[in-house]
Amino acid sequence: MKRAFVLLALIASLACASSHDSGPPVVVRLAPLDMNSSAFYFRGPIGLRYAVEVSNPADETVTLRRLDLRSTGGGAYSLRADSTAMNVKVAPKSNATFAITTWGRSRGGEISSSEPVIIQGTAFFDSPKGPFVKIFQQNVVPGP
């Protein structure tokens, strides 16, 4: 009986700990820059540029410290999982937009050159209440 009570208390505490997000309601968005689908016709390494927008609706300043991006599934290109160190401060109730450049690998071919790519991102932030992490996913379609 005592073991069952301890197990039940442990499960309840884990459920409570995972049911809310302790960080501010920050939103991270990713958009392609200078991506013409004809650039993906040939197989091999390719430079990629993205605009990153961080929206901070909270009443405190947050600082983006690191951004990890990787592609999931197929698409016109694959993006290697790589960390990018940053120091971008986002004021309360405002947005910050900046550009990043990274390397990917084009699959090649006329048909696959315009296929959408799903990018999964992990953003690491600092705030006055402590560090927090935001995970986001963005569907990126190469341009015309």
Per-residue pLDDT 10s for the chain (144 aa) are 445 444 444 444 444 444 345 678 999 999 988 877 777 888 889 889 999 999 999 999 999 999 999 999 888 889 876 788 899 999 999 999 999 998 889 888 877 788 889 999 999 999 999 999 999 999 988 876
Containing 6, the helix (H) or strand (E) segment is helix 2-18
Examine residue 103 and state whether it is found in any structural domain, yes or no.
yes
Token pair, residue 113, equals 């050159």
Examine residue 92 and state whether it is found in any structural domain, yes or no.
yes
The shares of helix, strand and coil residues in the chain, as percent rounded to the nearest 5, are 15, 55, 30
Examine residue 11 and state whether it is found in any structural domain, yes or no.
no
In Å, how far from its chain's centre is CA 27?
10
Examine residue 28 and state whether it is found in any structural domain, yes or no.
yes
The domain that holds 84 is classified in CATH as 2.60.40.10
Q: How many domains does the chain have?
A: 1
Examine residue 94 and state whether it is found in any structural domain, yes or no.
yes
**Which of 98, 115, 103, 37 has the alpha carbon at shortest distance from 63?**
98
Examine residue 1 and state whether it is found in any structural domain, yes or no.
no
How far CA 101 is from CA of 7, 25, 61, 94, in Å, comes to 49, 26, 25, 24
pLDDT at 144: 65
This prediction has a pTM of 0.78
Supply the DSSP symbol for 110: T
Q: Rounded distance, CA 61 to CA 127, Å?
A: 6
pLDDT at 22: 62
Is-contact 46 105, C-beta < 8 A? Answer: yes
Examine residue 7 and state whether it is found in any structural domain, yes or no.
no
Examine residue 10 and state whether it is found in any structural domain, yes or no.
no
Domain that holds residue 111: 24-140
